[in-house]
């Protein structure tokens, strides 16, 4: 199908974009990579009267180190994440996950800000943001504010963004040197959303897990931080019993939909398997 008529705007600054969004209200939509919005417009599931393209705002792009954190502009593409030496060195789990997002054509256009901001439970980056303790900087008519990723997601496609606000950057604390990481994703084919996926970041000491965080993708209407599952492996050598305990604790908070990717019990089962695989692979990488 063909989208309905709309007016196109390409602001050069964040302030101009915020002014446009605030002025148009429900009639305006911000455009990042467009992989969610444009298909919805073509199907007439979304019909904004005004489209505000964020690609002309240089301040929304780039990757930089800021003390103990890496700051990523919202309009940075997945391809730029893959090309970044800073990401490869400081946040290699983002590099690993970006390689699993769709295909090269999508990664050249898709942005990290669009991936985390629209509240799609199938997107890969939100669970990683929870796992890494990321903060989102938002800017709107009332000024700037920061929101923890763990407080941002409220339901499928519902987030903490207020009317007229846009996500401008993401600040991610750099994990400890020698940390282990893994993103395990089960999908039906290249380019598909995850049937189930798990992100793990951990540290080891004397052969035992000293610290751990686990995030889950597409296993609920929001990304999940599996805190009980992470606690289940602290102080263990990731023996079989500990891995099964972690998988069971993770499955206890999962509430996936029954869909073409499989029934609920199957998706919870493979979700547990992704958790165990990610824990083992992360431990194998930890110094």
Residue 120 exposure: Cα atoms within 13 Å on the Cβ side: 16
Supply the pLDDT for residue 248: 98
Contact call for residues 280 and 247 (beta carbons, < 8 A): no
| Residue boundaries of the structural domains of the chain | 7-53, 60-173, 181-285
The average pLDDT across 237-253 equals 98
Tens digit of pLDDT for each residue in 163-201? 999 999 999 999 999 999 999 999 999 889 999 999 999
Show Cβ contacts of residue 6 under 8 Å, excluding neighbours closer than 6 positions.
41, 47, 48, 49, 50, 51
181-285: CATH number: 3.30.390.50
Cα separation, 127 vs 277, whole angstroms: 16
What long-range pairs does 186-194 form, CB within 8 A, spacing at least 24? 186/270, 186/273, 186/274, 187/100, 188/261, 190/102, 190/103, 191/102, 191/103, 191/106, 193/122, 193/123, 193/218, 193/261, 194/122, 194/124, 194/218
CA end-to-end span of the chain: 53
Supply the pLDDT for residue 89: 97
Cα separation, 231 vs 282, whole angstroms: 16
Contact call for residues 85 and 105 (beta carbons, < 8 A): no
Tens digit of pLDDT for each residue in 56-66? 999 999 999 99
Cα separation, 49 vs 27, whole angstroms: 5
Q: What 3-state DSSP class applies to 186?
A: strand
The third-level CATH classification (topology) of the domain covering 7-53 is: 3.30.43
Q: Indicate the pTM of the whole model.
A: 0.95
Among 248, 207, 193, smallest CA distance to 226 is for 248
CATH of 60-173, one of 2.60.220.30, 3.30.465.10, 3.40.50.150, 3.40.190.80: 3.30.465.10
pLDDT at 208 over 80: yes
């Amino acid at each position: 199908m063909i989208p309905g008529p709309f007016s196109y705007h390409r602001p050069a600054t964040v302030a101009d974009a915020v002014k446009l969004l605030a002025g148009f209200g429900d009639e305006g939509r911000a455009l990042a990579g467009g992989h969610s919005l444009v298909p919805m417009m073509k199907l007439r599931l979304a019909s904004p009267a005004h489209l505000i393209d964020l690609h002309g705002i240089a301040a929304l792009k780039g990757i930089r180190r800021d003390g103990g954190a890496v700051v990523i502009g919202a309009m940075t593409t997945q391809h730029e994440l893959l090309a970044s030496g800073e990401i490869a060195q400081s946040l290699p789990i983002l590099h690993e996950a970006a390689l699993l997002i769709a295909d090269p054509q999508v990664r050249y256009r898709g942005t990290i800000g669009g991936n985390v901001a629209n509240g799609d439970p199938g997107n890969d980056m939100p669970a990683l943001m929870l796992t890494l303790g990321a903060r989102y900087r938002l800017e709107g008519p009332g000024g700037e504010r920061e929101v923890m990723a763990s407080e941002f997601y409220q339901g499928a496609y519902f987030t903490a963004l207020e009317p007229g606000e846009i996500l401008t950057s993401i600040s991610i604390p750099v994990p400890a040197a020698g940390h282990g990481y893994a993103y395990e994703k089960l999908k039906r084919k290249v380019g598909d959303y995850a049937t189930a996926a798990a992100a793990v970041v951990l540290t080891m000491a004397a052969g035992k897990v000293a610290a751990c965080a686990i995030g889950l993708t597409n296993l609920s209407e929001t990304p999940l931080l599996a805190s009980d599952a992470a606690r289940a492996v602290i102080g263990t050598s990731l023996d079989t019993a500990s891995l099964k305990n972690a998988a069971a604790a993770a499955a206890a908070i999962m509430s996936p939909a029954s869909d073409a990717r499989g029934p609920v019990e199957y998706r919870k089962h493979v979700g547990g398997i992704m958790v165990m695989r990610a824990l083992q692979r992360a431990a194998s990488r930890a110094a």
